[in-house]
Structure 1
Amino acid sequence: MEFSEYMTDWLYGDDGYYATYKNIGKSGDFYTAVSTSKFFGGTIGKHIISLVDEGFLEKDAVICEIGAHHGYFLADVIEFIYTLKPALLSTLKFVIIERFDDLQQQQKNYFEESFGDVISLTHYKSLSELKCENAFFIANEIFDAFPCELYYKGKTARVDGHEVEFDVDNEWVKAKADKYSKDRGEIARGYEEFAKEMNSTCQKFEFISFDYGEMTARPDFSLRIYEKHNVIPFFDEEIKREELFAKSDITYDVTFEHVKDAFEEAGVEFIELKAQMVALIDMGIMELLEMLKENVDDKIYKQELEKAKMLIMPNFLGERFKMIKFRKQ
């Protein structure tokens, strides 16, 4: 089978890694910005309010998270909107795109525990099911979870019994590798279809996503496995892939130029790519922390400040993670 099919089964098969709820954070396999601090979602909430104030978003716009896992991120966004501009909670529409029934139920349960019947949450299994005029789309670590092909010096990989062989001629993969000046590495599958789907879903929107990678392609393989906070190179000769298959996360660095090209080809405007640290500061995370300082005791403030620092410190999430932004207007 193609490697992209193998990775799809690993992550999204009936017994795949993402098919059921997994802990994220200290007790899971990896950390995300969402599991680190509520101020990640809070900063996005502040940004959404600014878009409404500027007139880009209508007061009845759709706020949609794609791939929400437990639902913490969107819930944090809503909590801060309530704090900063509560009237918007009665007009904005909140949506999660989630393909797995089990995760949808986890999200519904969490929202019910958090908000009771104050917040109405709508689920769709794919973007194609959602039709709207005005929206804000948000995703965290989505592009690194698209299946990829593996490429090495003109040949594409296939997988046989968890063993990888580079002996397939695939013109689409080779064309992408040539375009991004790669003689080896990962070539993502599905960015083009995803961009077209989002474009056809909504008439006017902003889309922000956070992920790790660079604008230009890496010159080597970045494919790796996360298991209980251990990072295991996929081509490590000592690992037994059959034992890790579907029981651990598998990921790779994003080539943001590929994401950018996919959205521009779909007719969506690329706005910017910047380090998560810069993006969060520009969207007002420091102002939120100042508000917290004025309203809680010093111990709580220092605890939340230390968590928030992890989002913007260059040696943790601040520099390696990037924010990419698109608009259709």
Structure 2
Amino acid sequence: MRFSDYMHEWLYGKEGYYASYHPIGKKGDFYTAVSTSKFFGGTIAKHIIARIDEGFLRPDSLICEIGAHHGYLLADIIEFIHTLRPQLLQTLRFGIVERFEALREAQKTYFDESFGNAIALEHYGDLSELNERTAFFIANEIFDAFGCELFYKGKIGRVENHKIIFDLDDPSISALAEKYRQDRGEIAIGYDSFAEAMKGSAERFEFMSFDYGELDARSDFSIRVYQNHQVFPLFDEALNLAEAFGKTDITYDVNFTHVKAAYEAQGIACTQYATQLVALIEMGILDLLAILKEHVSDEVYTQELEKVKILITPTLMGERFKMIRFVKE
């Protein structure tokens, strides 16, 4: 089978990695910004409130996370909205786009434990189920989980008995490789249909996403497997694909120019591309820390400050992760 189909089965098949719940953080295979600090979601909450004050988002907008895993990020956003502008919880709606029933149940349980009857969590299987007036979409590390083709010197990869063989021709993939100046590397599949589905989901929306990658594709393979906080390049001889299949996370660096092109083809403007460091500071993460300092002990403040430093320090997550933001007016 083509590698894109193999990766899809690896992550989303019946026995795929994302088909069931896996912990993130110390007990999981990897860390994310969400598992690092609640102030990641808190900063996004502050931005949402600012967009409501500016009049772009209505007070009754849908705040929707795509690919929420456990639901921690959306819950953190709700918690900070309650702290910063509690009356908005009476009008805003909150939802998650999630295809897997097992993850839906985990998210519902977490929200019930966190908020009881105060928040009515809405679930959707796909963006096509939405028809909103205004919405704010948020996703963390979603574009790196789209299937991709592996391209090497004019050929794309297929998988036979968990072995990758480069011997297939596909003019459309070759055209993308030429467009992005790659003689080898990953070519993502599905960005165009995703952007098209989001376009039809709301009359007006903002979509913010965080992921690792660059604005330009590097002509090399970045695809890798994460297991117990260890990283294995896909072509590492020490990696047994048959054993790793479906039991580990597989990912690659995002070509953000490809993401931009998919949305711009739908007439949706890219309004910002920035490092996570710049994005979080511009949205007010330091202001939130200043508020915290006034209300907690020095010990608690120092603990939270150290977590935030991981998010914004250039040598940690600050420069490696990027934020991209799209707006449909």
**Which TM-score band (shorter chain)?**
over 0.9
- Separation in 2 of the partners of 1:241 and 1:156? 18
- Separation in 1 of the partners of 2:172 and 2:160? 21
- Separation in 2 of the partners of 1:286 and 1:229? 29
Normalised by the size of structure 1, how large is the TM-score? Answer: 0.99
Mapped pair 1:144 → 2:144 = yes
Residue 221 of structure 1 corresponds to 221
Mapped pair 1:132 → 2:135 = no
Q: Deviations over 1:89-126 (max 9, x none)?
A: 01001010000000000000000000000001100011
Q: CA deviation at 1:315?
A: 1.1
- Separation in 1 of the partners of 2:238 and 2:94? 46
Residue 39 of structure 2 corresponds to 39
Q: How does 1:143-222 map to 2 (within 5 A)?
A: 143-222=143-222
- Separation in 2 of the partners of 1:43 and 1:74? 12
- Separation in 1 of the partners of 2:177 and 2:259? 14
Counterpart residue identity of residue 129, structure 2: E
Runs of at least 5 residues in structure 2 that lack an aligned partner in the other structure: none
Mapped pair 1:21 → 2:21 = yes
For 1:49, what is the secondary structure of its paired residue? helix
Q: CA deviation at 1:298?
A: 0.6
- Separation in 1 of the partners of 2:239 and 2:287? 46
Residue 108 of structure 1 corresponds to 108
| % identity of equivalent residues | 61
Q: CA deviation at 1:239?
A: 1.6
Counterpart residue identity of residue 258, structure 2: H
- Separation in 2 of the partners of 1:266 and 1:165? 35
For 1:31, what is the secondary structure of its paired residue? coil
- Separation in 1 of the partners of 2:323 and 2:238? 35
Residue 307 of structure 1 corresponds to 307
Counterpart residue identity of residue 23, structure 2: N
For 2:246, what is the secondary structure of its paired residue? coil
Runs of at least 5 residues in structure 1 that lack an aligned partner in the other structure: none
- Separation in 1 of the partners of 2:134 and 2:238? 50
- Separation in 2 of the partners of 1:12 and 1:84? 37
- Separation in 2 of the partners of 1:266 and 1:196? 6
The structure 1 segments of at least 4 consecutive aligned residues displaced by more than 2 Å after TM superposition are none
- Separation in 1 of the partners of 2:239 and 2:77? 39
- Separation in 2 of the partners of 1:322 and 1:328? 20
Q: CA deviation at 1:172?
A: 1.1
- Separation in 2 of the partners of 1:23 and 1:95? 21
Q: CA deviation at 1:238?
A: 2.1
Residue 262 of structure 2 corresponds to 262
- Separation in 1 of the partners of 2:272 and 2:85? 27
- Separation in 2 of the partners of 1:138 and 1:120? 18
- Separation in 2 of the partners of 1:58 and 1:244? 45
Q: Deviations over 1:235-257 (max 9, x none)?
A: 01122110011000000000000
Normalised by the size of structure 2, how large is the TM-score? Answer: 0.99
Residue 245 of structure 1 corresponds to 245
Counterpart residue identity of residue 175, structure 1: A
Q: CA deviation at 1:211?
A: 0.1
